[in-house]
Chains A and B, each alone.
Chain A
Amino acid sequence: MIGNYPTGRQKGALIPMLLYAQDEIGQITEELIDEVSKRLSVNRVEIEEVLGYYTMLHREKRGKHHVQICTNVSCMLRGGEELWEHACGKLGIGNKQTTADGSVSLEEVECIGACSWAPAILVNYDFHFNVTPESLDALIEGLRTKQ
């Protein structure tokens, strides 16, 4: 991957590198930071800067299925908040928490760019539109059995 970036600009690989690594191991670990810092010759603290800035990078372990529910204006107007409450209740976890079996984690997010089909949610990289509490239940059941 590093080779795809022009000489001297290898630092550009930082975000995709972190993202792909996170997909694989479920979180950004200390070892990962050290490794990336070595491979790209960037200071550790520069990686910390990126981690602190981007909400999609997580230092805590996420569930296998990371459910992100938008509660920003458009979604809120169309039931996003209720959806959020419902999900919390159903899973028994709160924001940025993971179910005991590690299958599902929850996150309340700002706009995910799907206002036309609000309320929208994102499970890992997959969008789900016009979600209702009922369809959310079915979705979560599906995720759980899918493991």
Chain B
Amino acid sequence: MAELVTLTIDGKQITAEKGTLVIEAAKKIGIEIPAFCYYEGYSLQAACRMCLVEVEKMPKLQPGCTLPAAEGMVVMTDSPKVVEARKSTLEFLLTNHPLDCPVCDKGGECELQDMVFRYGAGESRFTEIKHHANEKQWSPMVYYDPARCILCYRCIRVCDEGLGVGALGLTHRGVHAEITPSNGDHLECDECGMCIDICPVGALTSGSYRYKSRPWEMNHVGTICAHCSNGCKTTLSIRNGEIMRANNRDQSGINGEFLCAKGRFGYDFVHSEERLQTPLVRKDGELVEASWSEALALVAKKFGDVKAKGGKFGVVGSARTTNEEAYYLQKFARQGLGTANIDHRRSGDVASLLNALAGKRDALATVADLYTTKAALVIGSDLSQQHPLLAFQLRANYRHHGSSTYTVTRGPVREDSYAARSIRFEAGDEIGALDQLREDLSKHASVVILFGDSVKGGDVAKLVAFGDSLGVGVKYVCLMDYSNSRGAWDMGLTHEYGPGYEAAEQRGLSLPEMLAAKDLDVFWAVGANPLADAELGSNDAFVVVQELFLTETARRADVVLPAASAYEKNGTVTNTCGEVQRLKAGAKVMGVKTDLEIMGLLAKEMGLDLGIWTPEKVFEEIRRTVRGYNVQLPIIVTGGAAPTQPVSGQLAVLPDVSLVRSAEDTLFTSGSLGRYSKMLNAAMEAPGKLYKE
């Protein structure tokens, strides 16, 4: 237990751990000490002097952001001296500030504006001409306006310490001082935009949002990122149905302050001119526009006919549609169409993990666990590229708690720079490296093991046996690709399992088997693009595709139904750690329908009774019937992340692990979706490479 000290702040007594910063101690009792350069979680800078406080028996005002609390200390945060000092600091900061608030992106949510509003400094004694420097574009994502910069160093620290990128620095002195990017005049970095978010003023602006809107003209909708499997909360700022920006406004998600380039800039696919907005029906060999009712009637009729004559269906779901949609799709296929041929493209072998963890409690790590575990072992993944949030969490854990990270990868990864040990091993052989790590890992009280797609089947069992042999608390993360890769498995979008990993009544065709089958009558792809790198074996199959874009698969379709993206719908998704979170509809795109609505209308048209198809009702059914999903509703509806429980008991059948393969997306790619993001493709770092650092 750390030593405690008692101090007085503005007449209130508070007991805090010795060494606590006065600014933090004050926060605990509801006293805000204004600050610019201080940012919780990053190194101390003491550059701005905004936080000055008066301390009894100390001759000069002290910066509250670096002053450690001491026994008997008496602090005043609003004495006349302090108030005067604050005014002077603000006056000083404003001497060279352009005061272009009316056109500044930050106007209305600017910390400098707020402080001036609060603490005054309406008058300036500075009558000289302001020093001006032109705004610069550093990358398609990041712009810098030196005149607005208050030199707080926040951007430098978040980039260096938070991301481990270190792309920003401060060059020159005095009035000429400014932030400089890694490559002199341009950035080569992760393009995460974290520096933009953390900038207290409008000095760093976003390539997609700058000069587009005022913050108060938009509705802010917190939802879950549509891209990778980490499940960051991203706040969409919506004006008239259009997403104007995505950022981390309230920092209430599992990702805290974090967002990567995809979450922040990769939303633009939503309003891409290539979006499908009308159903398409093949007539005389050509796909032509049709009405929803015509297209749906056609599909329903065909489905009904094929079902009636006992024909062969092939149904492919997506790792990006919601749990409700995945669940409803498999129900539609199994109960409605009477087919067992259903699958999706799997990117991690979570079934083997759940099987190996049978009977264990709390053995699945959450995103939060990565920040608190004493040690982490990363196997077969370039985490900073493939799982940016998880990588950010591990790095923060190392910075704040000195945790140890071990990597076993086929090539260099960013984590190596601070890893306790890094071992190179060919993909698929990584399990062979474990014995070398046993001694190291068993020294730590808690370990989280994260593994990529190269660890599957029997290797997962071996991995868990290895974890057991360490004699310490071990938790696991099975790394997967997309926003609902985990949910797709859980909801039964596989040919071997129904929802909750119950063995499917009848084992149908897997995705490759469907593609190879010569006698498929109907091929139905919901949010999936399996023909991107494969041919459909059956020439006569009637192909129905629900999609955002005219993908390879949609091009082969007989009917294309334009679907809504994740940013246009409600529902839930499950991240790679097995945490369920809520999607909230933000954007509006004319002409599209959610996959759930499309399926619901099809069911109605076919006269099937598959239950009510609102997201809420389907989720209720999932909670009731899918093993592991009896999650707490209040957590979900308040925008939190509810962990699912591993299914208890061994799985009745083992998964087909030959089908597990990650698409190996980087920071700038995102499967078929990424192709339609202009911003992501505009980055000079795109598409990027794994294992190259």
Question: Is B183 interfacial (CB-CB < 8 Å)?
Answer: yes
Chain A residue, CB-CB nearest to B166: A43
Which one of A20-28, A49-57, A133-141 is at the interface?
A49-57
A53 contacts across to B, CB distance below 8 A = 171-173
Establish whether residues A52 and B166, one from each chain, have CB atoms under 8 Å apart when the complex forms.
no
Establish whether residues B173 and A48, one from each chain, have CB atoms under 8 Å apart when the complex forms.
no
Question: Is A1 interfacial (CB-CB < 8 Å)?
Answer: no
Question: Is B215 interfacial (CB-CB < 8 Å)?
Answer: no
Contact mask for chain A residues 40-75; partner B; CB cutoff 8 A; 1 contact, 0 none: 000111101101110000000000000000000000
Question: Is B671 interfacial (CB-CB < 8 Å)?
Answer: no
For residue B313, give the distance in angstroms from its CB to the closest CB of chain A.
56
Establish whether residues A48 and B180, one from each chain, have CB atoms under 8 Å apart when the complex forms.
yes
Establish whether residues A51 and B182, one from each chain, have CB atoms under 8 Å apart when the complex forms.
no
Question: Is B122 interfacial (CB-CB < 8 Å)?
Answer: no
Establish whether residues B183 and A52, one from each chain, have CB atoms under 8 Å apart when the complex forms.
no
For residue B437, give the distance in angstroms from its CB to the closest CB of chain A.
25
Establish whether residues B169 and A45, one from each chain, have CB atoms under 8 Å apart when the complex forms.
yes
A43 to B169, CA, bound (A): 9
For residue B157, give the distance in angstroms from its CB to the closest CB of chain A.
13
Establish whether residues A45 and B173, one from each chain, have CB atoms under 8 Å apart when the complex forms.
no
Chain B residue, CB-CB nearest to A42: B166
Establish whether residues B181 and A45, one from each chain, have CB atoms under 8 Å apart when the complex forms.
yes
For residue A138, give the distance in angstroms from its CB to the closest CB of chain B.
35
A52 to B168, CA, bound (A): 13
Establish whether residues A52 and B173, one from each chain, have CB atoms under 8 Å apart when the complex forms.
yes
Chain B residue, CB-CB nearest to A44: B182
Contact mask for chain B residues 180-207; partner A; CB cutoff 8 A; 1 contact, 0 none: 1111100000000000000000000000
B173 contacts across to A, CB distance below 8 A = 52-53
For residue A89, give the distance in angstroms from its CB to the closest CB of chain B.
28
A49 to B172, CA, bound (A): 7
Establish whether residues A44 and B172, one from each chain, have CB atoms under 8 Å apart when the complex forms.
no
A48 to B171, CA, bound (A): 6
A69 to B588, CA, bound (A): 67
Establish whether residues B182 and A52, one from each chain, have CB atoms under 8 Å apart when the complex forms.
no
Establish whether residues B169 and A46, one from each chain, have CB atoms under 8 Å apart when the complex forms.
yes
Establish whether residues A45 and B172, one from each chain, have CB atoms under 8 Å apart when the complex forms.
no
For residue B412, give the distance in angstroms from its CB to the closest CB of chain A.
14
Question: Is B167 interfacial (CB-CB < 8 Å)?
Answer: yes
A52 to B170, CA, bound (A): 8
Establish whether residues B181 and A52, one from each chain, have CB atoms under 8 Å apart when the complex forms.
no
Establish whether residues A49 and B170, one from each chain, have CB atoms under 8 Å apart when the complex forms.
yes
Q: From A43, A46, A52, give the contact of B172 (CB < 8 A).
A: A52
Contact mask for chain B residues 150-185; partner A; CB cutoff 8 A; 1 contact, 0 none: 000000000010000011111111000000111110
For residue B592, give the distance in angstroms from its CB to the closest CB of chain A.
44
For residue B81, give the distance in angstroms from its CB to the closest CB of chain A.
33
Establish whether residues A48 and B166, one from each chain, have CB atoms under 8 Å apart when the complex forms.
no
A45 contacts across to B, CB distance below 8 A = 166-169, 180-182
For residue B478, give the distance in angstroms from its CB to the closest CB of chain A.
34
Establish whether residues B171 and A46, one from each chain, have CB atoms under 8 Å apart when the complex forms.
no
Establish whether residues A51 and B166, one from each chain, have CB atoms under 8 Å apart when the complex forms.
no
B488-532 interface (Cβ within 8 A of A): none
B160 contacts across to A, CB distance below 8 A = 43
A51 to B184, CA, bound (A): 12
A9 to B567, CA, bound (A): 48
Establish whether residues A44 and B171, one from each chain, have CB atoms under 8 Å apart when the complex forms.
no
Establish whether residues A51 and B171, one from each chain, have CB atoms under 8 Å apart when the complex forms.
yes
For residue B129, give the distance in angstroms from its CB to the closest CB of chain A.
22
A45 to B160, CA, bound (A): 11
Chain A residue, CB-CB nearest to B177: A52
B168 contacts across to A, CB distance below 8 A = 45
A36 to B169, CA, bound (A): 16
A48 contacts across to B, CB distance below 8 A = 169, 171, 180, 184
Establish whether residues A49 and B171, one from each chain, have CB atoms under 8 Å apart when the complex forms.
yes
For residue A50, give the distance in angstroms from its CB to the closest CB of chain B.
9
For residue B131, give the distance in angstroms from its CB to the closest CB of chain A.
16
For residue B170, give the distance in angstroms from its CB to the closest CB of chain A.
6
B167 contacts across to A, CB distance below 8 A = 43, 45
A44 contacts across to B, CB distance below 8 A = 182-183
For residue B260, give the distance in angstroms from its CB to the closest CB of chain A.
20
A52 contacts across to B, CB distance below 8 A = 170-173, 180
For residue A31, give the distance in angstroms from its CB to the closest CB of chain B.
14
Contact mask for chain A residues 72-94; partner B; CB cutoff 8 A; 1 contact, 0 none: 00000000000000000000000
A51 to B170, CA, bound (A): 10
Chain A residue, CB-CB nearest to B168: A45
For residue A29, give the distance in angstroms from its CB to the closest CB of chain B.
13
Chain A residue, CB-CB nearest to B172: A52
A46 contacts across to B, CB distance below 8 A = 166, 169
For residue B41, give the distance in angstroms from its CB to the closest CB of chain A.
20
B166 contacts across to A, CB distance below 8 A = 43, 45-46
B181 contacts across to A, CB distance below 8 A = 45
For residue A47, give the distance in angstroms from its CB to the closest CB of chain B.
8
Q: From B170, B171, B182, B184, give the contact of A43 (CB < 8 A).
A: B182
Interface centre among A43, A45, A48, A49 (most CB of B within 10 A): A45
Interface centre among A46, A52, A53 (most CB of B within 10 A): A52
Binding site for A on B (CB under 8 A): 160, 166-173, 180-184
Q: A45-B167, A52-B173, A53-B171 are in contact. List 11 more A-B contacts (CB 8 A).
A: A43-B166, A43-B167, A43-B182, A44-B182, A45-B168, A45-B180, A49-B169, A49-B171, A52-B170, A52-B171, A53-B172
Binding site for B on A (CB under 8 A): 43-46, 48-49, 51-53
Query: Can you offer 25 A-B residue contacts whose CB atoms are under 8 A?
Result: A43-B160, A43-B167, A43-B169, A43-B182, A44-B182, A44-B183, A45-B166, A45-B167, A45-B168, A45-B180, A45-B181, A45-B182, A46-B166, A46-B169, A48-B169, A48-B171, A48-B180, A48-B184, A49-B171, A49-B180, A52-B170, A52-B172, A52-B173, A53-B171, A53-B172
Nearest 6 A/B pairs, CB to CB:
A52-B171, A45-B169, A43-B166, A49-B169, A52-B172, A45-B182
